[in-house]
Amino acid sequence: MLIPMKRCWQAVMVIAFVVPMLRAQESGKTFAWNPVKIQLSAFSRDLGMLDTERDEYATNLANCAASGITQTKAAQAALDRGQRLLALALNLSPRNRRAIIVNFQLAKGTLPEETKGDYSPQVLARLLLTRGQLLAKTDSQENRLLARIFFQLAAELDPKNEDAVYASEVDRLDHGAVDWTLLTRPRSEATPEPVKEPAKEIVRPPGPVGPPRRP
C-alpha cells in the first residue's frame, strides 16, 4: 500500500509544480509588435465623416483589434489584422484614447484588457459595409479610398457576410488590392499654392497724334 500511495503523492507534486510553470511560460510569451506611427493622417477634414463619427469608428476598430489579439494570445494573424485596424483608427482620429492606449500596450509586450465594444465583429462588419457603400457614391477620392478599406475589413471580420465579401472582391477586381501602406507612409504637410498676384494692367504709350481728319 505504501508504494502506490507514494507514487500518487509524486504525481500530485509533479502536477503542483509543472502546471504553474507551464502557465508562467505561456503568460510570458513575447510577441513582435511594430508600433503604429501616424505622422499625418491620410484623410483630411474634407472626409465625408464628422469628427465625432470618426472618433467612434476609431474606438470600435481599436476594441476589435485588442479583443482579437488578446483572445488568440497574440496569434500572428490577429497581430497582422490589429496593425491594419489600429492604423485605420489612428488615421481617422489621431488622438483617439483607446487606439493610443492599445498601441502603447502592445508595443510594451502587454496584452490589452478586453473591453466590450459597442459592436461585435459581425455587427461592425455590417456597419463598415453600409458606410462604405455610402462613401463610394461620392466623387471624393479620399472617400472612395476609405470605402475600399471598409469593404476589405468587413469581409475579413465576417467572411460569412456574402455582401461584404462580394463588395470586397469586386473592388479588388476593379481597382486591385488595397495599399495599406498609404495609412502609415511618411508624409509632409502639403505645400500651399503660391498666392497669385493680380495681373498688372499694361499701359501702352500713346501713339503719334496725327492731323485731324477732314469732314
pLDDT along the chain (215 residues), means of 10: 56 49 51 92 95 96 95 95 97 97 96 81 96 96 97 97 98 94 76 39 50 51
b/e string for 108-134 if b means 16 or more Cβ within 10 A?
eeebbeeeebebeeeebbbbbbebbee
Entry pTM: 0.74
pLDDT value of residue 59:
96
Domain parsing of the chain, residue ranges: 47-118, 119-178
Q: Measured between alpha carbons, how far is 81 from 54 in angstroms, rounded to an integer?
A: 19
DSSP 42: S
**Residue (of 114, 95, 100) closest to 54 by Cα position:** 95
Count CA atoms within 13 Å of residue 204 on its CB side: 3
pLDDT value of residue 186:
81
Largest CA distance in the chain: 149
Q: Measured between alpha carbons, how far is 129 from 155 in angstroms, rounded to an integer?
A: 9
Q: Which residues contact 58 (CB under 8 A, 6 or more apart)?
A: 88, 89, 90, 92, 93, 96, 98, 99
Cell numbers for 134, please give them: 455610402
Which DSSP string do the residues of 114-156 spell out, in sequence order?
P---SS-HHHHHHHHHHHHHHHHTSS-HHHHHHHHHHHHHHHH
pLDDT value of residue 188:
60
The one-letter code for the residue type at 45 is: R
Cell numbers for 26, please give them: 505561456
pLDDT value of residue 18:
45
DSSP 37: -
pLDDT value of residue 29:
60
Number of H helices, E strands in the chain: 7, 0
The kind and range of the H/E element at 25 are helix 2-27
